[in-house]
Amino acid sequence: MPTKSVVVGSSVGLHARPAQLIAQAAEELDVEVLIGIPGGDPVDASSSLMIMTLGAGPGDTVEVSSDDESALETIAAMVEKDLDA
């Protein structure tokens, strides 16, 4: 599965609001997208609760994976933005 490493851009990390926005977008894409901490087990990007369990803070690197290149780029771009602004 293709993977892209990105830096968390939200000032609160992948917490409540950013996680919810990412999960909603991933669910609408209707393809499997995973997010994980390098070296850890990835979680389903369409679940805000699972995203929050990663504990990714601002500036942390996470890996976004999907067999769908467009979905991969969409979710990776969202992770890099400050979604809490």
- Per-residue pLDDT tens over the stretch 13-60: 999 999 999 999 999 999 999 999 999 999 999 999 999 999 999 999
Angle at 27 between CA 79 and CA 33, to 5 degrees: 55
Those residues with Cβ within 8 angstroms of residue 70's Cβ, 6 or more apart along the chain or in another chain = 29
pTM recorded for the entire structure: 0.95
Those residues with Cβ within 8 angstroms of residue 28's Cβ, 6 or more apart along the chain or in another chain = none
The set of catalytic residues is 15
